[in-house]
Amino acid sequence: MDNGTFNVSTTQATQPVSEWTESFLLFIKATIMGTIIIASIFGNLLVIVSVMRHRKLRIITNYYVISLALADMLVAMFAMTFNASVQIFGKWLFGYYMCDVWNSLDVYFSTASILHLCCISVDRYYAIVKPLQYSLYMTKKVVALMILNTWISPAMLSFVPIFMGWYTTEENLRFRIKNPNVCEFVVNKPYAVISSSISFWIPCTIMIFMYLAIFREANRQEKEMYNRHGAALLLHQNNTNGDMLSNSGGSSKTLTLHEINQDLHHTPTRERNISKMKREHKAARTLGIIMGTFILCWLPFFLWYDTVYLCETCQKNCPDAVVAVVFWIGYFNSTLNPIIYAYFNRDFREAFKNTLQCAFCSLCRRPPSNLDFIDNRRPSIRYEDRTRSIYSETYLKHVDRRCSDFGSSL
């Protein structure tokens, strides 16, 4: 009797604890996924608005950046939100048709993102490795066609085979009809090989070879620049010694060579070329970090994707937690790109700061009250209050001037 009572009380005591633990874990999961979604939406929106507002960022390469940010923002709005609902509620809530829509959007936006990065690597390759051909090949029309292709071609891999039912097996189609509250992306072997190759493996191979050539050329150009700089300093020292000899009775031709050397090595055109080269190298480094981050985030997913659907026994033994983790690691890449821009690129960092300041400067304003009107005849208003009010008005005018003159200042 005592043992029976003890077992019942233990069961009743452990049941609320397990329910509380599950609720707490569910709250942590929902908080993490919600934070990733919100940060991705607002971060990529900040990239789009900053590039559109600031003239300094309106270069050809950043057209791809805007399009990539739009793709990442749509990933958060449509792919992440549906996945989060499944993780939180434990079932699919939107019916049979919307399951195909969600799977199509997921494949579509992830493919579009990597195709954008592939286009960026090609753009950087011509800008650094073949700079003389860059202005001839990478025109605004060519860039527009490349961006348009990155948005149209993924539809052939996502919407068409998924809505036609070519992507999955007959057993899964029958199962989905009987269980509309279950939405699992089960694919057949041909679609797994084709989709992973087009969406990840082939573009990644192209990007890796492009960036290897870019970094080799960038290192060569930097070494050449430093060698020229060292040779110019050595020649300058020799010419200075020649000037000293000419002042003591030597030839005046040395001074003429010195002046020619200064003209050759310190012309504005050369300075502009060096500045442009440094800017191109910095952009290549930033975009290379973005590409590397993309590969690290999506590589676990595509390794799992190919392993599971090419090995039937692996698919049955794969835990649901592993599937959720590899999905959200890939999704997290859409949140990281704006952070990379802000950390590694000073122009983007200043543009983000200016855009946020202009967006929230209206919060600094408050409706006037009786205390805001300064009357010098009233001794009750202190000098500190008048000074604070004048400082606030001056600061707000400065912010408004920066927000209105962003096109000419940057």
Whole-number Å distance between alpha carbons of 402 and 410: 10
Does residue 42 contact residue 96 with C-beta atoms inside 8 Å?
Answer: no
Residue recorded with tokens 């300094």: 56
CA–CA gap between residue 306 and residue 319 (Å, rounded) = 16
CA distance 80 to 102: 10
| Cβ proximity of 66 and 52 under 8 Å | yes
Q: Are 298 and 114 in contact (CB under 8 A)?
A: yes
Please give the Cα distance from 54 to 70 (Å, whole number).
Answer: 18
Token reading at 13: 């005591």
320-330 burial, b at 16+ Cβ within 10 Å, e below that, comes to: eeebeebbbeb
One digit per residue, the tens of pLDDT, for the chain of length 410 reads: 444 444 444 445 455 557 788 888 889 989 999 999 999 999 999 999 988 888 888 888 788 889 999 999 999 998 999 999 998 888 898 988 999 999 999 999 989 988 888 888 888 888 888 888 888 888 888 999 999 999 999 999 999 999 998 998 888 888 988 888 888 888 888 999 999 999 899 998 998 888 888 888 877 876 776 666 555 555 555 555 555 444 544 444 444 444 444 444 445 555 555 565 666 666 667 767 877 888 888 899 999 888 888 776 666 667 778 888 898 998 998 888 888 877 777 888 888 888 888 877 755 555 444 444 444 444 444 444 444 444 445 545 555 555 655 444 44
Instruction: State the DSSP code for 371.
Output: G
Count of CB atoms situated within 10 Å of the CB of 197: 14
Where are the domains positioned within the chain?
2-364, 366-410
Cβ atoms within 10 Å of 117's Cβ, excluding its own: 23
Rounded-to-integer distance, Cα 401 and Cα 393, Å: 12
Pick the CATH number of 2-364 from 1.20.1070.10, 3.40.50.720, 1.10.8.100, 3.50.50.60: 1.20.1070.10
| pLDDT for residue 267 | 52
Residue partners of 252: CB distance under 8 A and separation at least 6: 246
Q: What is the pLDDT of residues 273-292, one digit of tens each?
A: 556 566 666 666 776 787 78
